[in-house]
Amino acid sequence: MKLNVKAFALTCSIIWGIGLFAMTWWIIAFEGVTGDPTLIGRLYRGFNISPSGSLIGLAWGAMDGLIGGAIFAWLYNLLSARFSNSES
């Protein structure tokens, strides 16, 4: 079975971006706006626990999910083809 690289990358992009956006608003709802840098803020430049930070996190997460999903699907297809040929 092969994965559609574009579809998988887009799915990962949407899930990771919206997940980071929702997580930020979850923290804002329970702890308030801190604006403090977080561990994710060290990886994603400009991200912090604030409304503007959630939008920055959405953009970074979508881009990161797109690239990571594309690499994963491409690598899966490559290894799947190699191992299925060696078994036959």
Which residue blocks in the chain are alpha helix, DSSP H?
Answer: 5-31, 39-43, 51-87
DSSP 8-class letter at 50: S
Q: What pLDDT, in 10s, does the model give residues 43-52?
A: 999 999 999 9
pLDDT at 87: 63
Of the listed ranges 16-20, 36-40, 58-62, the one predicted with least confidence: 36-40
CA 32 to CA 65: how far, in whole Å? Answer: 27
Mean pLDDT over 60-72 rounds to 97
Read off the pLDDT band of 37 (50, 70, 90). confident
Residue 85 has pLDDT above 80, yes or no: no
